Structure 1
Amino acid sequence: MSKVPFGSLAAAIAALGTVLGFFALQLRADGYEQYVESVANFSVVMYVTAALIVVTWLRDGRPYSN
């Protein structure tokens, strides 16, 4: 079984978090305050998910002990 592409997955999810962060800023500038908190929270969730994927990637690279 091949290794899961952790790096590209983490980068894509972090990029999604960045886009959502900019989207939240744009919503605030356009006056849609009621949506800013939800979009900003989802952006943070994407960054946390990307960080957890990186941790999984690092742990997967360790040698297995039997």
Structure 2
Amino acid sequence: MTKGPFVAMSAATAALGTVLGSLALQLRADGYEQYVESVSTFSVLMYVTAALVLVTWVRDGRPTSN
């Protein structure tokens, strides 16, 4: 596979993680503490997903031994 779909997916999920992290900080500043934990968790989940997409891209590029 080409690297285009992997890079685009990873960049999009990392950007979403960044936006959600900023939202969590803003929620904390505005006093909405009950939502901060769930938004922060989802933000971390997006960063993990972006990392796993990059791992998949690296593993896809390796030659197979068939």
Q: TM-score range by the shorter chain?
A: over 0.9
Q: TM-score normalised to the size of structure 1?
A: 0.93
RMSD: 1.1
Runs of 4+ in structure 1 off by over 3 angstroms are none
Residue 51 (1) aligns with residue 51 (2):
yes
Residue 15 (1) aligns with residue 15 (2):
yes
Task: Give the corresponding residue for 2:65.
Answer: 65
Structure with greater proportional helix content: 2
Output the amino acid matched with 2:58.
L
Output the amino acid matched with 1:12.
A
Identity of aligned residues (%): 74
Secondary structure of 1:5's aligned partner: helix
Per-residue CA deviation, residues 8-61 of structure 1 (Å, 9 max, x unaligned), is 100000000000000000000000000000000000000000000000000000
* Equivalenced residues, count: 65
Task: Give the corresponding residue for 1:32.
Answer: 32
Q: TM-score normalised to the size of structure 2?
A: 0.93
Show structure 1 runs of 5+ residues with no match.
Answer: none
Structure 1 position 64, deviation (Å) = 1.3
Show structure 2 runs of 5+ residues with no match.
Answer: none
Distance 1:14 1:29 in 2: 23
